[in-house]
Amino acid sequence: MRTYHQLTDPDRSGLLDQIGAQRKRVAERLAGVRRIVTVMSGKGGVGKSYVTAHLARALARGGWGVGVLDADLNGPTIPGLLQAPPTAQPPAVGLDGVKCISMGQFLDAGAPLSFTGPAAESFVWRGAMEASALREFLGDVEWGTLDVLLVDLPPGMQRYIELCDILGNPPAVLTVTIPTPESRDAVRRAMRAAVDRGSELLGIVENMVGREFVGTAAQDLAEEFATPVLARIPWHPTPETWSQLAAQL
């Protein structure tokens, strides 16, 4: 594989044109989307997808046009959480009228995501393929008019970085943590990366509050990043909890 520096001049300008054309396509598709909010944590299993789906539903019940892009290509959970049936013409429409797109709608039940490419160095290809799958979600789905598009990120920050590159500017970030110090430390790294990229921090949602997870992660991070704690979500919260969170966006 040649690197960018080994390309000839015509190749290089072709690449730039392609990137420009893709950005334009994404921008056109998202023209009717008032705001993009990524839900991230950097830590796995803290409830990003759960918070994304329930927040989306509360916003929709409040009269907003809401879409969810499930950027977790390998562990898509959004169609299940929104009970969105498969459709030939994405986006699918789930509970409370929330629109969504997810790799889960394209995979057979239980099947892992796989790409065909060279067997050697497959991790390189896989990364590139995943980024292009995200680009296709952003460039191909006709959302129509939306007040907000929530992007549910997988753990880690790679997909966030790809998203910034594809969009051309950094999206606003809603952070999810659980109360523990371990979560706080992992989430801190993710928030730093988001701030370094220029994302606006909307605030912190502390999830799974009140049982075995003990700590002050949300408060600590809020003070450190001068951003509000928007909600403390217990296990199995009531719809009012979500409405109160939705009212703050």
Ligand X SMILES: Nc1ncnc2c1ncn2[C@@H]1O[C@H](COP(=O)(O)OP(=O)(O)OP(=O)(O)O)[C@@H](O)[C@H]1O
Decide: is 184 part of the binding site for ligand X (CB under 6 A): no
The smaller minimum CB distance to ligand X, of residues 26 and 55, is found at 55
Q: Considering CB under 6 A, how many residues would be counted as binding ligand X?
A: 18
174 makes contact with ligand X (CB under 6 A):
no
Alpha carbon 114 to its chain centroid, in Å, reads: 20
Question: Does residue 126 contact residue 95 with C-beta atoms inside 8 Å?
Answer: no
Cα gap 103→184, rounded to integer Å? 29
Q: Rounded distance, CA 34 to CA 72, Å? A: 23
- Nearest approach, Cβ of 180 to Mg ion (angstroms)? 18
Is the CB of 30 or the CB of 190 nearer to ligand X? 190
Q: Is 67 exposed, middle or buried (0-12, 13-18, 19+ CB in 10 A)?
A: buried
State yes or no: residue 175 binds Mg ion (CB under 5 A): no
Least Å distance, CB 178 to ligand X, is 9
- In the list ligand X, Mg ion, none, the entry touching 208 (Cβ below 5 to 8 angstroms by class) is ligand X
Verify binding: residue 235, ligand X, rule CB under 6 A: yes
Give the residue with the Cβ less far from ligand X, 26 or 50. Answer: 50
Binding partner at 213 among ligand X, Mg ion, none, C-beta below 5 to 8 Å by kind? none
Pairing, β 36-40 against β 148-152: parallel
Query: What is the residue whose two structure tokens read 């000839």?
Result: 8
- Sole binder of Mg ion in the list 49, 183, 199, 227 (CB under 5 A): 49
The CB density around residue 239, as the number of other CB atoms within 10 Å, is 11
**84 to 123, contacts with ligand X by CB under 6 A?**
none
**Exposed / middle / buried, residue 134 (Cβ in 10 Å: 0-12, 13-18, 19+):** buried
Question: Which residues share a beta bridge with 205?
Answer: 176, 231
CB nearer to ligand X: pick between 45 and 144: 45
Can residue 79 be called a binding residue for ligand X (CB under 6 A)?
no
Binding of residue 179 to ligand X (CB under 6 A): no
Residues that bind Mg ion (CB under 5 A): 48-49, 72
